């Protein structure tokens, strides 16, 4: 029935099935879901018009997935049980099979119907649960309910407008994605992966719709960019009107729900409880080469040991990038991006992601305290999630878990100056004595410099040692009388020349065995009579399985002047059986280890105190980790009048 044209059973207008395997097409004239059956065409009810957005996708765009070409021929819009919508684009492949291209918050997922012999019961599923029977590494990311809102084009299944169904979204490693659709019995399983538009070849020829295109599209959604607050009649400027679910008025604090394009007040928030955000709603800044606009502001908190601790979150929007979060905790800023939960491995107090290890620094529950602006889900004060934070500066991995969903995100620390430059605002410095979770230690360069200097010092020492092993100026055996009183005996060496100005090494050897000799030496300048005094005790003892001491002793003397020298050696022995001779070697110009060690000690002074400072820095970071921010809310922090 490919290329079938017929009259709509609802309005009589012409409908067309361009794809032979499509089952439903939406009438362009009356929005009826027209299904073809073996009995002919059937009207399955009206579908509401789509809530159009600045999506880069549209019907009849062509692309490629792997080696297969496809064309987008249909679209449905699904409403999340907690608010917000996502789009599913239906791709007809040249091979005759179908693919589902899901679009949510600026991310895209291509999936295909896949067999699953024994799908789990929906009641058995929970966020974070592994499903090895579905695929290696697949984990339940979210369980919930959804409702089909609207449709357009051709659909490969029997569309029932307004139908609600349960589902479970799955995540796998390396971008793998899956969905268990419990709208059918048995449930249908879809398996695929996250993709970019560039990967499927349709980004270049599919620019995002501009404002004039958005305003020209009919439908029940919020098409106007400016609305009136139903409480105070203040003007509300909407950044992403088609994706807006909740709006908090910045003038009176009225939190309104969006229902079929109309605002209804849910509650009045206390605007005097918190100061105005330092980055005003509507501010624009460049993120990843794209302009993003602040559309929402949220204050969140946690409770610990009798104290409440707060932090700020800004919701940013761009039609191409979707939504992002900018977080401020005590003046420490970070930009947040979502992470595939299946790519995160958690081992008690350690998390691994992208080849990087993250250390657990805090855990607790987070609660929404206050909101301003617009949000893509049904947010309200009191909403709570369980949280864990793992850090590896300048990045932080964050887990948020509710009864229906678990999400992971990675934040990157932004210096205050970068945030100021991005949004053109003036911000206060971070609160004194606090450390951001992802804040890098500011003096790590000291350790890098020390490592470079250490390598250079070792290199110079090794090179000097090899090049200056010392020039031998004297070698001889000093013989003492034997069989006589072992008291002090004195002998003199033959004269030898020293060039002067260089270190002198004296090497003495005596064949002591369970004995000792004590040498007192004088280095005498024959011309000036100058004397350098030093001593060298030599002893060695041993037993059945032990040995201590050495028969060789070395001594390095400081440089002396040039000239002819004689060595005077006085020996004391343990007894007459002790050795009566000593072999002495004198070298001039040796490298002295002591000076090298002194140099290392000098170089290590600054790194040592820097290390102690870093320990305190990390201790402060972990102290903040116990309390989600370290200090209670400071109402003066955002007061710029002074």
Q: Please write the tens of the pLDDT for every residue from 65-91.
A: 988 999 999 898 888 877 777 889 999
CA atoms in the 13 A half-sphere facing the CB of 53? 26
| E strand spans, 448-580 | 469-479, 489-492, 496-498, 504-509, 515-525, 531-542, 547-550, 552-557, 563-573
**What global pTM score does this model have?**
0.71
- The per-residue pLDDT for range 415-466, each reduced to its tens digit, is 999 999 999 999 988 888 888 889 999 999 999 999 999 999 888 878 776 6
* Residue ranges of domains in the chain: 4-214, 274-462+591-634, 469-590
- The per-residue pLDDT for range 10-33, each reduced to its tens digit, is 777 777 777 766 767 777 777 777
Report which of residues 216 and 306 the model is more confident about. 306
Rounded Cα distance, 23 and 36, in Å: 6
Place 634 in a pLDDT band, splitting at 50, 70 and 90: very low
Residue-level pLDDT at 480: 85
Q: What integer best gives the mean pLDDT of the chain?
A: 83
- Sort residue 232 into left (φ over 0), alpha (ψ -120 to 50) or beta: alpha
Both tokens assigned to 118: 């024994």
In this model, does residue 209 exceed pLDDT 60?
no
| Chain centroid, CA 80 distance in Å | 29
Residue-level pLDDT at 518: 92
Strands 62-65 and 40-46, by their bridges, are: unpaired
Classify domain 469-590 by CATH number.
2.60.120.1300
**What Å distances lie between residue 491 and 120, 473, 495, CA to CA?**
98, 18, 13
Rounded Cα distance, 197 and 64, in Å: 10
Average of per-residue pLDDT across 547-561: 91
In this model, does residue 590 exceed pLDDT 80?
yes
Q: What DSSP character marks residue 60?
A: T
Both tokens assigned to 542: 């041993």
Question: DSSP per residue over 16-28, as a string?
Answer: EE-STT--EEE-T
- The per-residue pLDDT for range 110-163, each reduced to its tens digit, is 999 988 878 888 998 999 888 887 776 789 999 999 888 888 888 887 777 788
Both tokens assigned to 324: 């992002």
Q: What is the CA radius of gyration of the chain?
A: 40
Residue pair 74/151 in contact (Cβ under 8 Å)? The answer is yes
In this model, does residue 627 exceed pLDDT 60?
no
Rounded Cα distance, 59 and 76, in Å: 11
123: CB partners within 8 A, 6+ apart: none
141: three-class secondary structure by DSSP: strand
Residue-level pLDDT at 636: 44
In this model, does residue 223 exceed pLDDT 80?
no
Percent of the chain with pLDDT over 70: 87
Rounded Cα distance, 112 and 209, in Å: 27
Rounded Cα distance, 554 and 506, in Å: 6
Place 467 in a pLDDT band, splitting at 50, 70 and 90: low
């Amino acid at each position: 029935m490919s290329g079938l044209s017929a009259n709509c059973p609802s309005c009589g207008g012409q409908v067309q099935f361009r794809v032979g395997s499509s089952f439903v097409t939406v009438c362009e004239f009356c929005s009826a879901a027209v299904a073809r059956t073996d009995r002919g065409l059937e009207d399955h009810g009206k579908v509401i018009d789509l809530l159009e957005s600045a999506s880069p996708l549209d019907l009849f765009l062509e692309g490629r997935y792997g080696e297969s070409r496809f064309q987008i021929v249909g679209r449905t819009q699904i409403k999340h049980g907690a608010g917000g919508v996502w789009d599913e684009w239906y791709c007809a492949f040249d091979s005759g099979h179908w693919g589902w291209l899901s679009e949510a918050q600026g991310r895209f997922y291509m999936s295909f119907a896949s067999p699953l012999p024994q799908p789990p019961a929906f009641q058995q599923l929970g966020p974070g649960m592994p499903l090895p029977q579905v695929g290696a590494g697949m984990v339940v990311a979210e369980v919930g309910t959804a409702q089909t809102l609207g449709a357009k084009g051709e659909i490969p299944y029997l569309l029932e407008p307004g139908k609600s169904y349960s589902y479970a979204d799955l995540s796998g490693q390396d971008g793998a994605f899956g969905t268990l659709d419990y709208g059918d019995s048995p449930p249908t399983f879809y398996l695929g992966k996250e993709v970019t538009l560039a990967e499927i070849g349709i980004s270049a020829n599919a620019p995002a719709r501009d404002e004039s295109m958005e305003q020209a599209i009919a439908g029940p959604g919020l098409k106007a960019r400016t609305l009136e607050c139903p409480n105070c009649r203040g003007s509300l400027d909407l950044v992403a009107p088609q994706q807006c679910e909740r709006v908090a008025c910045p003038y009176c604090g009225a939190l309104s729900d969006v229902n079929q394009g109309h605002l209804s007040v849910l509650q009045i928030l206390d605007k005097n409880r918190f100061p105005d955000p330092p980055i005003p709603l509507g501010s624009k800044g460049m993120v990843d080469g794209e302009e993003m606009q602040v559309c929402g502001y949220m204050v969140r908190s946690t409770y610990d040991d009798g104290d409440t601790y707060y932090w700020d979150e800004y919701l940013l929007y761009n039609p191409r990038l979707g939504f992002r979060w900018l977080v401020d905790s005590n003046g420490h800023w970070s930009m947040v991006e979502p992470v595939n939960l299946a790519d995160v491995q958690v081992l008690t107090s350690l998390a691994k992601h992208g080849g990087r290890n993250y250390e657990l620094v805090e855990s607790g529950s987070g609660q929404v305290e206050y909101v301003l602006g617009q949000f893509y889900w049904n947010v309200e004060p009191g909403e709570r999630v369980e949280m864990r934070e793992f850090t590896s500066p300048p990045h932080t991995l964050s887990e948020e878990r509710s009864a229906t969903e678990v999400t992971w995100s990675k934040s990157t620390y932004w210096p205050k100056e970068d945030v100021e430059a991005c949004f053109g605002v003036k911000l206060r410095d971070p609160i004194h004595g606090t450390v951001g979770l992802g804040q890098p230690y500011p003096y790590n360069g000291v350790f890098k410099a020390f490592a470079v200097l250490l390598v250079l010092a070792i290199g110079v020492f090794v090179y000097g040692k090899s090049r200056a092993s010392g020039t031998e100026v004297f070698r001889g055996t000093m013989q003492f009388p034997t069989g006589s009183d072992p008291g002090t005996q004195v002998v003199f060496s033959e004269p030898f020349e020293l060039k002067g100005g260089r270190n002198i090494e004296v090497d003495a050897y005596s064949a002591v065995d369970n004995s000792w000799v004590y040498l007192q030496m004088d280095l005498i300048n024959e011309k000036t009579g100058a004397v350098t005094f030093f001593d060298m005790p030599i002893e060695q003892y041993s037993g059945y399985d032990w040995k201590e001491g050495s028969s060789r002793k070395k001594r390095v003397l400081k440089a002396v002047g040039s000239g002819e020298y004689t060595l005077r050696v006085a020996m004391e022995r343990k007894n007459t059986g002790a050795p009566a001779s000593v072999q002495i070697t004198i070298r001039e110009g040796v490298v002295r280890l002591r000076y090298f060690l002194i140099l290392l000690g000098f170089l290590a002074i600054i790194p040592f105190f820097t290390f102690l400072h870093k320990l305190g820095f990390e201790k402060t970071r972990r102290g903040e980790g116990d309390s989600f921010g370290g200090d209670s809310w400071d109402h003066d922090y955002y007061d710029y009048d002074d």
